[in-house]
Structure 1
């Protein structure tokens, strides 16, 4: 279909993750997850902060933040309150359960662990508008995301 619509396209103009470095794997549901986060953090949206974390993590889901000011800037925060605003959003992400953070040389968010957002969403399902949750479920089914299900608790 691409060749039919763009027959003269030079492949060099496209992003090919197999040929370049500087990419990460993210859930295809990320836009919906970001919307859920923004909805839960109301007038202090943290969805973009979460996305920035994903863009900097590797397969171990661990991020070492050596320069919080850089992440604040990447999250869209500038000025003298940029860092404090970013820290506030990070606290929100931790309170919602999307991340956990440990203190280190650069402060309380030096080491950050990103949890599977599909599992987190199931844990906080009661806080999410039903239509939004159903939309995420439908998208997960569309893409074959088998992890979009309730967290299983081990038998006692």
Structure 2
């Protein structure tokens, strides 16, 4: 505060965004800029960090995000035009494949719900399996920053992800079978 006052003597407190004063904030890891840079490295040619940040901005403490309006999500992630929704869906799939999120289907389609995984855990898993695109320099920078900010979950041994349950096909009934079932009740 002392240094800020010296460097910016004309700064008025009301010019600053204060989370204690205003609603509409979320907590993010101090490593987020580096996490986003690594995500873009891992999704070369189809950067997914803006999609990731869009999800994070919608999550509350339980880290669950309903994905019930892909057009809005796409726009907020910076995708516009005819292919906006398709681009957003591709980025969601990339984030899921890399283990940054888990998704589940529902009334909005095959990606109707998402849970955001601890990004440090996701990156540790990717490092351990030798994921192409995850450079030693950036991972080491993540570890350095984690130590600097006291993030004990960076590079920690954590559990494996839960298995994804197989989707069982729904048996289609004919109109006659449905009628027969209703009339026997």
2:143 is matched with which residue: 137, 142, 146?
137
1:110 is matched with which residue: 109, 112, 126?
112
Gap regions ≥5 residues in structure 1:
none
* 1:27-52 per-position Cα deviation (integer Å, ceiling 9, x unaligned): 11111111111111111111111111
CA distance in 1 between partners of 2:118 and 2:159 (Å)? 16
1:51 is matched with which residue: 28, 37, 53?
53
Which structure would you say has the larger RCO, counting Cα contacts within 8 Å and 6 or more residues apart? Answer: 1
CA distance in 2 between partners of 1:143 and 1:33 (Å)? 14
The normalised TM-score by structure 2 is: 0.80
CA distance in 2 between partners of 1:43 and 1:77 (Å)? 15
CA distance in 2 between partners of 1:118 and 1:135 (Å)? 12
CA distance in 2 between partners of 1:22 and 1:150 (Å)? 31
The normalised TM-score by structure 1 is: 0.94
Name the residue aligned to 1:76.
78
Shift of 1:151: 2.6
Name the residue aligned to 2:154.
148
Q: Secondary structure at the match of 2:41?
A: helix
Shift of 1:153: 5.0
**Conserved? CA contact 1:123–1:150, under 8 Å:** no
After superposing on structure 2, the runs of 4+ consecutive aligned residues of structure 1 that deviate more than 3 Å are none
CA distance in 2 between partners of 1:135 and 1:149 (Å)? 11
* 1:7-30 per-position Cα deviation (integer Å, ceiling 9, x unaligned): 232211100000000000011111
